[in-house]
Every structure is written in structure tokens, then in C-alpha cells.
Structure 1
Amino acid sequence: MQRSLIDRWLFAAFFLLVFIGVIMVYSASVYYAEMTRHSALYYLLRHLLALLIGVILGVGFYSFPYRHLKTVAPVFLWAGLLLLVYLAFVARSRWVFLGPLHFQGVDVARFGLIIFLAASLSRKEDRLQDFHEGVFPHVVYLALFAGLTVLQPDFSSGMLILLIGFTMLFVAPVQIKHLAAVVGATIPLAVGVVLTSPYKLARVMALLKMEEDKLGTGYQVSRSLVSLGSGGLFGVGFTESKLKLFYLPEAHTDFIFSIIGEEWGLMGTLFVLALFFIIMVRGLRIANRATDRFAFYLSIGITANFIWYALINMMVTLRLAPPTGLPLPFISYGGTALIINCAFAGLLLGIHRQLEEVPAPRRKPVVRQTLPLNRKYATRRMYR
């Protein structure tokens, strides 16, 4: 029976998340767009344009031989670093503006970083047991990307870069004590950044003291919980959300998961959660079946990117983490994130396709010596 060159489960999960994203961006933004942009379809049309670009990129990476990315990985590293330096010290913004076009630089840089880390870890795998020669250089790369991102300022995206990088290091043959030391040194630095920034500290307080200031710093989180709770088991119905009517800020971006809970209920949120679980399982399966270490680390990095973003976005809506501004992959409105995630999806599906295309190695015949009664049968050729 011929093997399928496409992972149907993974493709179905990506497709359904994109479909849910399209209908939910419309539902969550239609009234807001009408009032602020004088066009009910303003955000939906922009979302569809970004999706079109993302699908084109995804198809391109699906067809592109992923092994070639390993040779140009340093280009991705330096391009990402230069982009982040420009944003941190020249533009002093999260956005790159090119005439009428603009995009969020950290998403593009993160794409390049994951490719570079996968290439570097696969090349230096025999040295990863040594901290100075194996672990430390990768920690420096992560620190540079995360630090420059925090300076934009974009603290949440900087921390996500570290989480993805640490995940890739965790599955590598790195000594646990080395990784624990790096994580242990990172935590107090992150806490220090939060404590010295009134804006970031206010977000943490919104999580810890929401009940004391529901109309102030805790307003967004409290409205998110109300939206989720009002959906019940099956929801109030598509487009019937009340909280999106200017009661829940960022309903079509950061808190779109809350609108899903209100309109589609607990069953809708569990369905979305199940789709991301499928992505995690199938992504890890691709990594486990990889025939080369670059494919292994690249699959892990891409899968970690999807899961960490989804997990933290959902935790924010459930008041398990402070507001971060991180989108829900494939669903939240946000052109750059959607385009990059589609590119990642195409690349992961492409890795699976190319692994399946590799022909199974031919089994060599084994000559076994026997002791038959007749000499002419002294040697028999047998196959495994």
C-alpha cells in the first residue's frame, strides 16, 4: 500500500484552525470595524489578504527541499539580528514600515532563528555535552534575539523566543544541569525587567488583583472570563456574542479565544484545544521519524512555536497568565503572525512529505552456511 506523502491529520488541523480564524475574525471584528473603520469587512478582508500571502509562502516551503535551508541558516541568523537591531535602536518600534506595507519584525526574526538553531544544534550535537563549546553559543544567540526584542519593547515575544529555544535545547543531548543553570539565571533577569517597568508590572497586578480593580487594570481579564462563562456548553450562537460589542477590548486579536467560548461554548473551546493537541502530537511524530538531525530539531522548533503561543494565549484568557499581547496561532487577527505561521505549517508538512519520499533501504541478502547432505546445496542465499 502506497504511503501518503501528506500528513492528513496535521493538514486537517491546520485547515480547520485557519477556517475558524476566518469566521471568528469576521464575527469578533464586524461591529468594531463598522464603528472605527466605517467598513464591517475591514479586518476580515485584511485577514484574508494575509492568509493568501501565507498560503503562497506555505506552498512554497512545502515544495522546497528543507535540507537546503541548513546551508543558508547563517543568513537567516544575521538577517534576523540586523532586523531586530534596526527595530530596537533606529525605529524604536515593533513594526517595520515600507510605504503602505508594514509587518512585525520579531515574527520574521523568530522564523529565521528557529531555522538557524536547528542547523546549529544538528552540526554541533557531538559538542552539546560541553557547556562552553556546545551550550553557551546557543544561549548567546537566544539572549541576543530575546534582549533586542525586549528593547523594542516587546517583553512577551522576547520570553517566547526563550521558551522555544529552551525547548529545542531540552530535546538536544544537553546536560540537564547546564540547561537548569541557564533557566535559573534567566528567571531573575525577567523578574527584574517586569519590576522596573510600570506598564509590565501593571499587567501582572491585573492578574493578581483583578477583583480589586475590575474597572481598571483588571477590566480586560474580567471581561474575558465573563465572555467565556456566558457561553455555557454550546455557546450563544455564531455572531451572537455580546461582549465583543466594545465590552471586551482586543476581541478580534488577543482575546478571540474568549469570543469562541462565548459563541461556541465549552465544546468550541475544547475543539480548538484538540486541534492544537493534534498539531503537537503529529509534529512530535514527524520529529521522531526524522532521518536527519536537522529535520528533527526543525520539527521540534516549529511545533514548539505553535504550542507555546497557543498555550499562553489561552492561559491569558483564563486568567492563568498576565495579558501578553500574543495572538492565537491561525485564529487571531494579525497579518504578520498569520503569514509566518502558514510558512511554518508548510515547512512542517514539507518535512513530512520529503521524509516519506525517501525510499526504504534495500535489504541485502545474507549468505548462511549450512551442512546439507548434498554438497551442491552447501550455500543458500536467504533474505531477511
Structure 2
Amino acid sequence: MTVHKSLPLTERWAQSYQPIWQPDVVLLSSCVILMLFGLVMIASAGVDVSEQLFGVPYHFVLRHAIYLLIGTFAGLIVSLVPTAFWQRHSPVFLLIGFLLLVLVLFPGIGQQIKGSRRWIDLGPVGFQPSELVKVSMILYVGAYLVRRRDEVINSWSGFLKPVLVLALVVILLLMEPDFGAVVVILGTILGMLFLGGVKPGQFLLAMFAAVGAVIVMALSESYRVQRLLAFRNPWSDENVYGSGYQLTQSLIAFGRGEWFGVGLGNSLQKLFYLPEAHNDFIVAIIAEELGLFGIVILIGLYCVMIHRIFRVGRLAELQENLFGAFCCYGIGILFASQAFINIGVNTGLLPTKGLTLPFISAGGTSLIVSICLIALVNRIYGETLRMGHRV
């Protein structure tokens, strides 16, 4: 939507920063159901751990509810801001992301938990810079693909520039270390570059380089090697109570769930058998309590949400809103990869790696950022409707 600069400032603001009165009902409905589903499952999975750690049974679910409210408020703000704002200021957000990734490495600023320095201590809460960096990279690459589209398609320099930025982000994340965020960001940005029109040879070269880098990173630390060995045979004598312990307990939960589960709240694995039952391994608790039926519903909700995100991106592309389209594609790839990796880890399809399940797992920064990303997609949808396209 074009806003004339000759208008008074208040009128220009009123034309640009207006709410979306025609939201994407399907997208928002699937997300709201996922968030409520996650709230219920955190209440079920975290009650015993919360009682032991904090002396109250509903610490985790109350904290998650507060983050939901904060995320909803932040999402409403995002829905008021035109996509042109994010496109114009994408380098600023990328710079902020870089600064936060550097700050988190300093003792006294970055909070070290389980050997990794991934959180900035903000008193009662912790902030995870890698979640913000995912967003800033999507915004930056989306704006770059619009600004340098011809260069990206026709020359190596247009392709290598965002790859160098991506490499710097990966190096900073590995210094924390946050291997899961590295894999997700690599997949998301390379997917955006592919959809942005890079040549197949360039994309394949980048893919081979990324896969090679991931293999080297996986084999560079002894604990990662142990996880890979445990992934191959978690039931061996040396793994079942060692590196493969979480995976074996997760698989036991899946086995107990069968078709329709043992009933909401009746999980045994959450009783201190399965670590991080309310967080990284909440899918195992869903499988145990709600069975295969619950897992199919969960995957179905993600399929609806991700399909809708890509649908909005395609319509934005048809309307020649390329920045909105690339952002939707990046957000869709991000959610799809995180959901696939988390569910794959829980089922033993992938090696164990700490990565939250969007809208379901306990995690404040991840939840707030996820809600804001959906709000951005909804804003793009609303702007597309004003341009004359309906889904």
C-alpha cells in the first residue's frame, strides 16, 4: 500500500500502521489450538518436576501462560507494523542479533547452563539470542533477495554475500555452542536462497558445504560422538543408562501410549524417568498420554499451519510482494524444520539434540518469537487482501 509523503504525519501513520481486520482465520486457529494444546501438556508433563524444584505443582504452566500473554501482546504490536518497516530496517535487526550473539559469550552477561552459554540473564527470566537471530536472518535475507534479485540469480557474488553473513552467524552460534540452532538456521536460509532463484549448481555446492560442515561439527566434540553412537544403538549396556538414556525413556513412552494413550495426566515417564519431559521431550509425553491418535492430531495441526504460511507466501509472490513472500517461505521452513527435528529426536529418527517444539514446549523466548512470526505472516496476508488477492 502506497502512502503519500505529502500527507500530514498523523494521516501517514494512520494509513500505514493499521490493524488487520481480516485475519487469516485458518492460520490463527491452528496456532491458537497448538498454543492451548501446549499449555495443557506442560501442565501435565511438568507438574511433578515443578513440585520437586519449586514446591508448587504449576510453576511451569503458570510461567508458560505469562509468556503466552507477553507473546500475544508482542504479536499484536507486530500486526500493526507494515512489512515495509521490517524490510527497511532489516540490517539494523541483523546488527542487533550479532551484538547479542557476541554479548552472550561474555561471563557475567551470558548464563551458562549444562555447559552451553546460550542465555542472557535478565533476572527472573532468561533471553535466548539465537531465537532473535533466526528472525533477523529471515528478515535480512528476504530484503536482500528483493534488493539484489538480479545479482543473486545471475552472479556468484550475489549468492556468496548472504552465505558469508550466514557463516558468521554459524561461527558465533558454535562458540556458545548451539548446534541445533545452527542446523535450523542453515536449512532455513539455504531454503530461502533456493526459492529466491539461485542457480542449482550454487545451491548444491552450498548444500554439500553445509552438510560437510555439520558432519565435521558433529564429530569435533566427544559428547556429540557419544550421542551419535547412542543413536545407533540406544539399548546397548553402555548407552541405556548413559548417552542413550533420554532416547530409551522416550521410546518407552511411545510404546506405552499405543493407539489412544494411557489418559491425560497418567504418564509414568514424566515421574522423573524422562528428563526435560515438559520441554524438549514433551512429544513423548503426548504419545504416552494421548497415543498415536494425539500425535497424528499434533502433526496435522502443524501441517495446516505450515501449509497456510506457504500459501500466504505464494499469494504475496503473485502480488509481487517479494519481501513478504520470502519472509513467509523462511518462516514456513523454520517451523517445519524445528517440528521435524524435535519429533524426529523424540521418536529416535534423529540423534538427540535440544530443540524446542514451536508453541508446545516450555520456553519463553521461543514462544514469544514464534507468536510474533505468525503475526508477521498474518500482516502479510492482510496486506495481500488489500492488494486484491484472497486465499
TM-score, normalisation: structure 2: 0.89
Aligned residues of 1:77 and 1:113 also touching (Cα < 8 A): yes
* C-alpha deviation, 1:132, in angstroms: 2.9
Equivalent of 1:20 in 13, 18, 37 = 37
Equivalent of 1:280 in 300, 303, 306 = 306
2:137 aligned with 1:113, yes or no?
yes
Which whole-Å deviations, capped at 9, do the CAs of 1:78-122 have from their partners, x for residues lacking one?
111111122235647101113333211110121111111111111
What is the alpha-carbon distance in structure 2 between the residues aligned to residue 244 and residue 99 of structure 1? Answer: 28
SS in 2 for 1:137: helix
Which whole-Å deviations, capped at 9, do the CAs of 1:40-66 have from their partners, x for residues lacking one?
011111111111111111111122211
2:323 aligned with 1:294, yes or no?
yes
The aligned counterpart of 1:172 is 196
The aligned counterpart of 1:158 is 182
* C-alpha deviation, 1:15, in angstroms: 0.6
Residue type at the aligned position of 1:19: L
Equivalent of 1:312 in 322, 337, 341 = 341
2:339 aligned with 1:322, yes or no?
no
2:362 aligned with 1:345, yes or no?
no
Which whole-Å deviations, capped at 9, do the CAs of 1:296-337 have from their partners, x for residues lacking one?
101111111111100100000110111110011000001110
* C-alpha deviation, 1:350, in angstroms: 1.4
SS in 2 for 1:251: coil
What is the alpha-carbon distance in structure 2 between the residues aligned to residue 203 and residue 320 of structure 1? Answer: 13
The aligned counterpart of 1:261 is 287
SS in 2 for 1:329: coil
Which whole-Å deviations, capped at 9, do the CAs of 1:336-373 have from their partners, x for residues lacking one?
1001001111111111112112247xxxxxxxxxxxxx
Structure 1 residues 185, 89: CA separation in 2 closer, same or farther (over 3 Å shift)?
Answer: farther
What is the alpha-carbon distance in structure 2 between the residues aligned to residue 63 and residue 348 of structure 1? Answer: 12
The aligned counterpart of 2:4 is none
Q: Where does 1:132-281 land on structure 2 (aligned, <5 Å)? A: 132-212=156-236, 213-281=239-307
Range moving further from structure 2, 126-135 or 339-348:
126-135
SS in 1 for 2:366: helix
What is the alpha-carbon distance in structure 2 between the residues aligned to residue 206 and residue 341 of structure 1? Answer: 31
Equivalent of 1:54 in 62, 71, 79 = 71
* C-alpha deviation, 1:209, in angstroms: 2.0
2:85 aligned with 1:68, yes or no?
yes
Is the radius of gyration larger for structure 1 or structure 2?
1
Aligned residues of 1:131 and 1:178 also touching (Cα < 8 A): no
Aligned residues of 1:231 and 1:264 also touching (Cα < 8 A): yes
What is the alpha-carbon distance in structure 2 between the residues aligned to residue 332 and residue 126 of structure 1? Answer: 41
What is the alpha-carbon distance in structure 1 between the residues aligned to residue 82 and residue 188 of structure 2? Answer: 23
The runs of 5 or more residues in structure 1 that have no matched partner are 361-384
Equivalent of 1:44 in 55, 61, 72 = 61
Aligned residues of 2:90 and 2:143 also touching (Cα < 8 A): yes
What is the alpha-carbon distance in structure 2 between the residues aligned to residue 208 and residue 50 of structure 1? Answer: 37
Residue type at the aligned position of 1:171: L
The aligned counterpart of 2:105 is 88
What is the alpha-carbon distance in structure 2 between the residues aligned to residue 99 and residue 207 of structure 1? Answer: 37
What is the alpha-carbon distance in structure 2 between the residues aligned to residue 265 and residue 313 of structure 1? Answer: 17
Aligned residues of 1:237 and 1:263 also touching (Cα < 8 A): yes
The aligned counterpart of 2:13 is none
What is the alpha-carbon distance in structure 2 between the residues aligned to residue 303 and residue 185 of structure 1? Answer: 23
SS in 2 for 1:118: helix
Equivalent of 1:336 in 365, 371, 380 = 365
What is the alpha-carbon distance in structure 1 between the residues aligned to residue 40 and residue 192 of structure 2? Answer: 34
CA RMSD of aligned residues (A): 1.5
Residue type at the aligned position of 2:202: H
The aligned counterpart of 2:122 is 98
What is the alpha-carbon distance in structure 2 between the residues aligned to residue 206 and residue 250 of structure 1? Answer: 18
SS in 2 for 1:96: strand
What is the alpha-carbon distance in structure 2 between the residues aligned to residue 183 and residue 359 of structure 1? Answer: 37
SS in 2 for 1:332: coil
What is the alpha-carbon distance in structure 2 between the residues aligned to residue 5 and residue 218 of structure 1? Answer: 48
TM-score, normalisation: structure 1: 0.90
Aligned residues of 2:264 and 2:290 also touching (Cα < 8 A): yes
Aligned residues of 1:329 and 1:341 also touching (Cα < 8 A): yes
Aligned residues of 2:186 and 2:210 also touching (Cα < 8 A): no
The aligned counterpart of 2:8 is none
What is the alpha-carbon distance in structure 2 between the residues aligned to residue 99 and residue 41 of structure 1? Answer: 20
Identity of aligned residues (%): 34
The aligned counterpart of 1:123 is 147
